[in-house]
Amino acid sequence: MKMLKAQWALGKFVCVGLDPDETKLPAHIRDEQKLLSDKIINFNRDIVDATKDLVCAFKPNSAFYEQYGVPGLVALEQTILHIKAVAPDVPVILDAKRADIGNTNDGYVKSAFDYFKADAITVHPYLGSEAMKPFLDRKDKGIIVLCRTSNKGAGEFQDFGNAFHHLYQEVAESVAQKWNYNGNCLLVVGATYPGELSTIRKIVGDMPILIPGIGAQGGDLEKSLGAGFDAHKEGIIINSSRGIIYASSGEDFAEAARRETEKLSGQIVDFRELILQGERA
């Protein structure tokens, strides 16, 4: 994705996950006599405005909006529109994890890209490339395929295989060698599995990787960076959601979100510079 490469060139690797939970909104927003959609929109707007110059992407997870029905979907739409207005060069990743048979995927594609105006979407690989073609054919959009997820039970199916080859490796190989005919594929690999991340990076070369699991899920940042950077010491999207957007429950929540984003970004940039210095030595 050209938009991501432009952000990496500026030293930006953090993705802020916009996952609003009504019960965790700051009290002064939660107690306002406003529609729920407006509360979420205002919360997201302030987070976006405070961090937009620091990030390589924003990632709203659709479940956090769908749970509230129409008000939530209105908030999702308005959140993306706001990002487009104030940070048009920052891509929006719709974390929807969609997948179905081909003609059903047509509807998901139109929803994500044509209605909500997302720049990328997360998808499941289980139905195969034929079914996923409506996504893959959108050469102007990023298609981010789940490969090795960050949850504790990820290995139940993803580790299926033998000591030499697992299902997640087959997914990585297929996406890199067959699915990526438009050069628009990315992978999801959790920070909680740095060993698997290293293996996948070797398989896919410089393909971009979205890395969730830093922060609340306990992923190790330095191990993830060491395993995840591509040959150009780029190619990664380090996502943090709760650790940034709920850094404070007070009226300073946006300022706190900015501080946490700056902190995470600084750690990434510093570690990257250490690696580059070592290569130059």
Nearest of 187, 195, 231 to residue 211 by alpha carbon: 187
Residue type, 64: F
- Mind listing the pLDDT tens digit for each residue in 170-215? 999 999 999 999 999 999 999 999 999 999 999 999 999 999 988 6
Q: What is the pLDDT of residue 41?
A: 98
Model confidence at 152, pLDDT cuts 50, 70, 90, reads confident
Measured CA to CA, the distance from residue 234 to residue 117 in angstroms comes to 26
Q: Work out whether strand 57-60 and strand 93-98 pair parallel, antiparallel, or are unpaired.
A: unpaired
> Pick the catalytic residue: 97, 133, 233, 263?
97
Helical spans, DSSP H, in 67-206? 70-86, 102-109, 128-136, 155-158, 167-174, 194-204
Choice between 152 and 98, residue whose per-residue pLDDT is larger: 98
What average pLDDT does this structure show over 118-137? 97
Give the class (CATH, top level) of 2-147+227-280. alpha beta
Nearest of 110, 111, 68, 117 to residue 90 by alpha carbon: 117
Q: What is the pLDDT of residue 218?
A: 67
Q: What is the pLDDT of residue 221?
A: 93
Measured CA to CA, the distance from residue 221 to residue 238 in angstroms comes to 9
In the chain, what are the domain boundaries?
2-147+227-280
Task: Flag the least confident range among 10-24, 59-73, 207-221.
Answer: 207-221
- Mind listing the pLDDT tens digit for each residue in 248-264? 999 999 999 999 999 99
Q: What is the pLDDT of residue 216?
A: 63
Check whether 10 has a pLDDT greater than 90: yes
Model confidence at 279, pLDDT cuts 50, 70, 90, reads confident
Check whether 7 has a pLDDT greater than 90: yes
Choice between 280 and 122, residue whose per-residue pLDDT is larger: 122
Catalytic residue check, 133: no
Q: What is the pLDDT of residue 217?
A: 67
Model confidence at 243, pLDDT cuts 50, 70, 90, reads very high
